[in-house]
Structure 1
């Protein structure tokens, strides 16, 4: 293990982001070609090229916390399942969430077939985007409740012994022994937000939020059963198929906001898929770097910042059921929380280093 860490620490930034850079070049070239095919003008080509670049930056800014949480889960998974998530998982993330998911929303909302939805996306992008925006309320409720459960489960943990914001986290740990406390917090939050909506919207919001909550609980149950079965059959390390499924649902919840928000920049499904797909590759690269470099152990509060950002994102998704919040606010807010946690970690490392020097 020490040899592996030493080898990982010797890898430069270019090594981790090599494939992300390659996908960026290919994606932007495809975006430019698509812009030329759509408009036949240099201005149209440059416009689509720029939109793809902005969408990639949007996805990266929204996904810092996603990479950290992925790395936190991956470090407890067996090497085989780590590899599977970073290969199959990225295919599901890029094509499943950035292409298939928006199509499925239109299929369900408009009551049409998958092929008709694809034709609608290609021939009538404005109608397609309108259906996506109309479906935002249940998506926000589902994603908000799922992500809030993810964030609260990190803090309501009786084994958690490192606290960043001491008075909040120590209190949450103290009450972590109360069964179902995270579920109660989410349900109360959902009830509060549903009271500010119109009756017909309130029912849709509440039903979708309950499904988000149930999805989290079902993934936890199914994941535990699958991982237990793997341990019984092969003695595999904790964190196999169950953890893989958990990470895929988590990535989907993170992607909701970016996919819906992308329609504010472009109504073309293929332009959105290119831009968000580029960003997803950087998330994968950041995840690998965090795992191999052991960054989460070097900076003790980094995970805390990511999970605070997740809870903040869940609240923002709930708030978006009431009014629009620009995606730049979401992205910068999460990045700021992670940045502050990184700064606090560096300060703590310096204090420990100074204390060790003094003792020496």
Structure 2
């Protein structure tokens, strides 16, 4: 099971490190290895949340997530995205941006740093909406009762999470963005940029999440009529000699969930891409290191789904969403103040570790008490899955 799930990740790791060693020596080997660890540590919470969404897909779409999805994640976010940032902010073409990255890496790094306020605002708002929609939703299993139950009551108000997010964006734009950090320790007014980028992140979440939720609801309605549809499909198949299935709606639902996962991965990738510039300006080292890390995030997501880890450890998903909320806040704060990458990584891992330990303790209580789930509910109740 382990080799089957992580086989591609192991293979890409070996190939990537050997490639770096052959072309750039031990220095390239070490930097690529460090970047791989950085990406995994910063994106572990991403894997947990991804698993909550991915477990609703069938095996076909899970394979799509690991094939086409990884191409988007590696080449789109870890290689193309930094180039696009420079091309847009510097007003040059993509080819010129690549040449700039190769010929003048210091200038390339400066341009990406200057673009950070817009990146942080977009990613911060998208991740904040994920956290708010989770924390304001009533669910059977709660982790921090004193916090989650009162907030769930507030969530009964229509569009409450959107209102909170807009307030957070306005506060960020009028305070933090007024003196946004730029290369060389300078601070400039990025209020308008942060407002527009933040609204774009919020709108992206609402559109993609709304579409995935719509088709998921449609799929659930059709599943209620699955028995009748199956009988009719089998009869038609015998008559015509062709298989009749209801894959169409499942495909549409899975497609928008897949789209949601890709946007989610992109938002999580922002801090990893920016953080990589603190280690190296070499564009190919960055692509290799972050790409290897992205492979492990994908494999870890599949592992969590197939092993049923989220169901076995009931609070793990809660911890991941708290880590998302913390990352969103840190992204918004980083518009003005630089935060060490080790801080963002340790906060997320720490929250997930706390949730994992709480789950282990609850499972032990279940075993000793004969069925209580540790949160005042029966153990037969399943956690509410994450997503939109």
Same fold (TM over 0.5): yes
SS in 1 for 2:370: helix
Q: Which position in structure 1 is the counterpart of 2:153? A: 174
SS in 1 for 2:250: coil
Pairwise CA distance, 1:345: 0.1
Q: Which position in structure 1 is the counterpart of 2:340? A: 326
Pairwise CA distance, 1:16: 2.5
Q: Which position in structure 1 is the counterpart of 2:31? A: 51
Per-residue CA deviations over 1:320-349 (Å, capped at 9, x if unaligned) read 011000011100110000000000000000
Native 8 Å contact 2:215 2:253 kept in 1? no
Distance in structure 1 (CA, Å) of the matches to 2:67 and 2:281: 29
Distance in structure 1 (CA, Å) of the matches to 2:346 and 2:264: 20
Native 8 Å contact 2:120 2:332 kept in 1? yes
TM-score by length of 1: 0.89
Q: Does 1:24 align with 2:13?
A: yes
**Candidates 127, 142, 145, aligned match of 2:107:** 127
Larger radius of gyration: 2
CA, structure 1 residues 237+101, in 2 after alignment: closer, same or farther (shift >3 Å)?
closer
**Candidates 284, 305, 317, aligned match of 2:319:** 305
SS in 2 for 1:115: helix
TM-score by length of 2: 0.83
**Candidates 252, 265, 273, aligned match of 1:251:** 265
Native 8 Å contact 2:215 2:249 kept in 1? no
Native 8 Å contact 1:57 1:279 kept in 2? yes
Native 8 Å contact 2:215 2:252 kept in 1? no
Native 8 Å contact 1:105 1:135 kept in 2? yes
Q: Does 1:192 align with 2:206?
A: no
Distance in structure 1 (CA, Å) of the matches to 2:247 and 2:297: 33
Distance in structure 2 (CA, Å) of the matches to 1:297 and 1:225: 25
CA, structure 1 residues 34+137, in 2 after alignment: closer, same or farther (shift >3 Å)?
farther
Per-residue CA deviations over 1:304-333 (Å, capped at 9, x if unaligned) read 000000000000001101100001110011
The runs of 5 or more residues in structure 1 that have no matched partner are 1-10, 36-44
Alignment length (residue pairs)? 337
CA, structure 1 residues 141+56, in 2 after alignment: closer, same or farther (shift >3 Å)?
same
SS in 2 for 1:162: coil
Native 8 Å contact 1:78 1:239 kept in 2? no
The runs of 5 or more residues in structure 2 that have no matched partner are 180-188, 223-245, 373-388
The farther-off stretch of 161-170 and 222-231 is 222-231
Native 8 Å contact 1:55 1:272 kept in 2? yes
Distance in structure 2 (CA, Å) of the matches to 1:225 and 1:300: 26
Per-residue CA deviations over 1:178-222 (Å, capped at 9, x if unaligned) read 111111111111222222232831221122111111111111233
Distance in structure 2 (CA, Å) of the matches to 1:357 and 1:246: 35
Q: Which position in structure 2 is the counterpart of 1:295? A: 309
**Candidates 78, 81, 95, aligned match of 1:115:** 95
Q: Which position in structure 1 is the counterpart of 2:144? A: 165
**Candidates 174, 199, 222, aligned match of 1:210:** 199
SS in 2 for 1:80: helix
Pairwise CA distance, 1:134: 0.7
Pairwise CA distance, 1:254: 0.1
Distance in structure 1 (CA, Å) of the matches to 2:196 and 2:252: 33
CA, structure 1 residues 225+162, in 2 after alignment: closer, same or farther (shift >3 Å)?
closer
Distance in structure 2 (CA, Å) of the matches to 1:208 and 1:32: 39
Pairwise CA distance, 1:238: 7.9
